[in-house]
């Protein structure tokens, strides 16, 4: 597969991408397979702004902008810290800043705090269920991690049991083959004795 060289686009084109992204953001969040949405976005970019990007290129640009936003957000920190100097930060923050998936650092800290304070788990669960936002974040709670670990341990235990059963089956098969071989040897000995008697 030939590597396509990334073409340079200026800040004005990036602003146009962000503008179209904002218009299509709810559609992008609503479906898992969204190549048709990127195609529509690409067409709109060409028609309204003269920016020619293939849908795959547009997806990569948006992914890169999202990644850069998350890096900047992490640098800013949960308390707001020093504001970001990245010129597109505020525009992208308006699009995806409210999504819980962009708070991974804060979610991890919250999860750790909840584990260290077991009395706080019911309050954390009720506060999470009462929050409203455009997206439900995948669970990063310690309970979800424990369920995943337990599930993995269950599969491992099942695999060990299956392996022991297979070993027992093969050992039994080997014993049966040895018994069959001895029986055949005995049969051959009896037949040979009968042949020798007849002679």
Q: What pLDDT, on a 0 to 100 scale, did the predictor assign at position 73?
A: 86
**Domain chopping of the chain, boundaries:** 1-97, 100-140
Are 47 and 55 within 8 A, CB to CB? no
DSSP tag of 6: P
Does residue 94 register a pLDDT over 50?
A: yes
In the chain, the percentage of residues whose pLDDT exceeds 70 is 69
Is a pLDDT exceeding 90 seen at residue 41?
A: yes
Residue with tokens 């529509």: 40
| pLDDT average, residue stretch 33-49 | 91
Distance CA 76, CA 80 (A): 6
pLDDT for residue 187 is more than 70: yes
What mean pLDDT do residues 132-159 have? 65
Residue count of the chain, please give it.
199
Q: For the purposes of burial, counting CB atoms within 10 Å of the CB of 58, is it exposed (0-12), middle (13-18) or buried (19 or more)? A: buried
User: Which H or E element spans position 108?
Assistant: helix 104-116
């Amino acid at each position: 597969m030939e590597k396509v060289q990334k073409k340079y686009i200026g800040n004005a084109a990036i602003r146009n991408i962000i503008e179209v992204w904002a218009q299509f953001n709810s559609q992008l969040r609503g479906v898992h397979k969204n190549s048709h949405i990127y195609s529509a976005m690409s067409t709109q970019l060409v028609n309204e702004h003269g920016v020619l990007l293939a849908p795959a290129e547009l997806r990569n640009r948006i992914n890169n902008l999202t990644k850069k936003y998350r890096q900047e957000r992490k640098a800013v920190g949960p308390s707001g810290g020093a504001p970001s100097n990245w010129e597109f930060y505020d525009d992208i923050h308006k699009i995806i800043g409210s999504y819980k998936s962009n708070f991974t650092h804060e979610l991890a800290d919250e999860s750790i705090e909840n584990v260290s304070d077991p009395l706080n788990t019911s309050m954390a669960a009720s506060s999470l269920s009462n929050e409203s936002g455009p997206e439900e974040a995948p669970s990063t709670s310690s309970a979800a991690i424990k369920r995943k670990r337990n599930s993995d341990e269950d599969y491992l235990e099942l695999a060990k049991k299956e392996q022991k059963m297979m070993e027992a089956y093969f050992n039994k098969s080997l014993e049966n083959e040895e018994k069959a071989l001895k029986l055949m040897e005995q049969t051959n000995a009896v037949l040979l004795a009968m042949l020798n008697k007849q002679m």
